Structure 1
Amino acid sequence: MVNCNEVRRVDPLGNGPYNPAAYAMSSRQPRHVMIHARIVGTGSYLPERVVSNAEVAGTLGIDPSTVTRLTGIAERRWADPSQASSDLAVEACRRAMDAAGIAPSSVEAIVLSTTSPDMAFPSTACLLQRKLGCPGGPAFDLSASCSGFLYALSMADAMVRSGQVTQCLVVATEIKSRTLDPNDADTALLFGDGAGAVVVRAEQAGAQPNGGILGLRIHAEGAGHDLIRIPMGGSRTPATEATFSRPGTTLRMRGGPLFRLAVKKLNQAIRDLLKEFGVTLDDVAHLVLHQANGRILSSLAAKLGLPVSKLCSVIERAGNTSSASVPVALDYAVRSGRIRQQDLVVLGSFGGGITWATGLIRW
């Protein structure tokens, strides 16, 4: 990680002061220098409003302590009515840029994950680009439910490795509270709002041995599309005055089948990733997994044979923030000093689609 108190602008090719324009031009020319991507700054933001278990469980007639026992969640944060997803993203991105020691003017691309965009279009990434004051460059959204951050990180990694950009913001931002049915126990107890971001920078391979993003693997299985969804509001069933009061406008989830698939798919995907890169579970210092609920996290740790102490979790105070949960947990682990240089970190997520993704990073 870059020292938060320093501003470092280094040419990834090792040719003196970092000059994005000059590097972008040189990147279009044939070269023999291998480039990889490194996360050089993290940031996150949770709204101010704290929502207790007593508040969400009251209408369901459930004891607040039962919610904690079943989900591992003690509280979650919900956005103020004046806030949209782009507003949460602005705060997380500013903190990530501060940690990386960069200004918005040096951000060359923005890749944003959300299933709760400000509006149907334009993209929330374009709205974020304007609010941050970043220069013109690619800015786009992607939707992969709770796996969205790792999908977005894989896009940024590919752009860096191909020489399209040298510095990219990757952000996941979600306001799920506005699509919850307070009478649906499967969803009302779990979800919170929040945003997390990272700055990804090009780096010459060999600058730090075996460092940076080693690999990201993304997956989908459309046959499970109905396990978690918001059925209405798209082109198949448009939102109209007549449909506003119907159940299909709120988030619906089949918790049991989704739970079992999440544990099965992520367990195998993590094992496959480690095998591919020739490392063992003993080599892994930290797991930063999607914060769906505490039971999934503990079940995955048990399946993998890893101590719970290796899990980086913020589920107790943040709830399930969908695609923002991985970068929020990652930022917390970095800022608390838990993740240190050269630590081997496994990222993993699972969500609607169904989608799942894994990542391996040498910090």
Structure 2
Amino acid sequence: MDTVSLIDVASYLPGPPITTDYFTRHAPSDRKAQNIMFRAPAHRHHVAAAESAVDMAERAIAPLIDRHGTAAIDGIDVLLTHTQLPDLPVLGCGAELARRLGMRPRCILDLHNGGCAAYIYMLDLARTLLSSRPDAHTALIVAVQNSAGQIFTQPDVRPLAQAAVPGDGCGVGLLHRSDRAPILDVECRHYPQFAGDMTAAIEPPRKYWEPGTGQLRIAFTESKIATVFARGNRLVPEVALAVCDRIGVRSTEVDTFVTNQPNRLFLRNWREALELPPEHHPDTFDACGNLFGAAIPVTLDTENRAGRIPNGALVLLAGFAHAGDFAAAAAIRWGAAPPPPPRTHDPLTPRCR
């Protein structure tokens, strides 16, 4: 397989931060709110009413255009997108995004599974497509989470404990067939036996597209919460350690460990399973909430823009999806660190002549 690199990342968060009071002032006493799975973050962002998934993706890609030029995006060969809540039934946002940005990709693929690990899934697919097609050299991957401000703010859903956890955002990645910032290895594992454990509910019951009065929500029971929690604790370290083993490093040698951000307890348990200190495992949960599929690229971009991922660092991405039907991990030798700011002249220091 030809070497494929993740050469840049960017992200977008819609609107101003929303505080937890937006939810708690409407919430009745709910014992699920005491469950650590639903402990609310301090802030989250919500997509605007008129803001589409394509709008979010276009805004997330803008920094890539600023840094690499319009031609670098116009000439993308492979475009992969994942949208948590498609704006139109059936149709993802890939083709419309390509039209808006003037792209003519040889391959456009809207990925509807992968969930919170979709960014890693797209990394693997992009790497495979670029390596197997001699005429393809660049790929753009896009993960949009847009359900928090649309599903979880409905009047009947907003008072539930689960509503305060998600946030909206979009993260993107630019890939080249090169060895500048190589993707060292990827592990993707499907667990079909768990696929039926993620459900949606509407009261009174109906299919979500049928007319009615009930509002769609994700359904949780106490037993299901415990089951999903146990799976998540196990699956993410398993795929992460599998990648470490194949590239011949110990988990303690990882410089930056970026995961999806479902809740504080998962983050702590995953970090401890890999024996990493907190500063090696970035946490955007309190600032952004659970960003589902966008969490990994948004967190990655946040750390990179802050200058905390130097070129040459070993970056490990990992996450699991839905109720545990998919998990993935990827190792990258980082090469997308932003350049240092230009030095300004200190008037008290004489210039060299």
> Which TM class, normalised by the smaller chain length?
0.7 to 0.9
1:166 aligns with 2:137: yes
Q: CA deviation at 1:35?
A: 2.6
Partner of 2:159: 183
1:74 aligns with 2:47: no
- Aligned residue type for 1:48: G
Do 1:166 and 1:202's aligned partners in 2 also have CA atoms closer than 8 Å? Answer: yes
Do 1:179 and 1:250's aligned partners in 2 also have CA atoms closer than 8 Å? Answer: yes
Do 1:42 and 1:100's aligned partners in 2 also have CA atoms closer than 8 Å? Answer: no
1:5-48 deviation digits (Å, cap 9, x = unpaired): xxxxxxxxxxxxxxxxxxxxxxxxxxxxx631111111100001
Secondary structure, counterpart of 1:78 in structure 2: coil
1:293 aligns with 2:263: yes
Please give the residue correspondences for 1:1-363 in structure 2 after superposition, counting only pairs within 5 Å.
35-61=2-28, 71=39, 73-101=41-69, 103=71, 104-143=73-112, 144-164=114-134, 165-177=136-148, 178-180=150-152, 181-185=157-161, 187-203=162-178, 207=179, 211-230=181-200, 237=207, 239-242=209-212, 245-246=213-214, 249-253=216-220, 254-352=224-322, 354-363=325-334
- Residue 302 and residue 95 in structure 1: after superposition, are their counterparts in 2 closer, same or farther (change >3 A)? same
Q: CA deviation at 1:341?
A: 0.7
Q: CA deviation at 1:317?
A: 0.8
In structure 1, what is the Cα distance between the partners aligned to 2:246 and 2:252?
A: 15
Do 2:77 and 2:107's aligned partners in 1 also have CA atoms closer than 8 Å? Answer: yes
- Aligned residue type for 2:137: T
- Residue 347 and residue 355 in structure 1: after superposition, are their counterparts in 2 closer, same or farther (change >3 A)? same
Partner of 1:10: none
| Identity over aligned pairs, percent | 22
In structure 2, what is the Cα distance between the partners aligned to 1:319 and 1:54?
A: 14
Partner of 1:21: none
Unaligned runs of 5+ in 2: 335-353
Do 1:49 and 1:79's aligned partners in 2 also have CA atoms closer than 8 Å? Answer: no
1:246-301 deviation digits (Å, cap 9, x = unpaired): 35x22234433222211111112111111111111222101010011122111111
How many residues in Structure 1 have an aligned counterpart in Structure 2?
317
Do 1:229 and 1:352's aligned partners in 2 also have CA atoms closer than 8 Å? Answer: no
1:168-209 deviation digits (Å, cap 9, x = unpaired): 110100111212221321x21210111000100011xxx55x
Do 1:43 and 1:198's aligned partners in 2 also have CA atoms closer than 8 Å? Answer: yes
Do 2:169 and 2:291's aligned partners in 1 also have CA atoms closer than 8 Å? Answer: yes
In structure 2, what is the Cα distance between the partners aligned to 1:71 and 1:200?
A: 36
**Which moves more between the two structures, 284-293 or 250-259?**
250-259
In structure 2, what is the Cα distance between the partners aligned to 1:337 and 1:68?
A: 31
- Aligned residue type for 1:174: Q
In structure 1, what is the Cα distance between the partners aligned to 2:318 and 2:52?
A: 26
Do 1:71 and 1:295's aligned partners in 2 also have CA atoms closer than 8 Å? Answer: no
Q: CA deviation at 1:137?
A: 2.7
- Aligned residue type for 1:110: L
Please report the RMSD computed on the Cα atoms of aligned residues, expressed in angstroms: 2.5
- Aligned residue type for 2:170: A
- Aligned residue type for 1:39: L
- Aligned residue type for 1:37: V
Secondary structure, counterpart of 1:79 in structure 2: coil
TM score, norm. by length of structure 1:
0.81
Unaligned runs of 5+ in 1: 1-33
Q: CA deviation at 1:50?
A: 2.0
In structure 2, what is the Cα distance between the partners aligned to 1:337 and 1:35?
A: 29
In structure 1, what is the Cα distance between the partners aligned to 2:13 and 2:35?
A: 21
In structure 2, what is the Cα distance between the partners aligned to 1:230 and 1:132?
A: 34
Secondary structure, counterpart of 1:345 in structure 2: strand
In structure 2, what is the Cα distance between the partners aligned to 1:183 and 1:343?
A: 43
- Residue 160 and residue 69 in structure 1: after superposition, are their counterparts in 2 closer, same or farther (change >3 A)? closer
Secondary structure, counterpart of 2:176 in structure 1: strand
Secondary structure, counterpart of 1:241 in structure 2: coil
- Aligned residue type for 1:197: V
Do 2:58 and 2:97's aligned partners in 1 also have CA atoms closer than 8 Å? Answer: yes
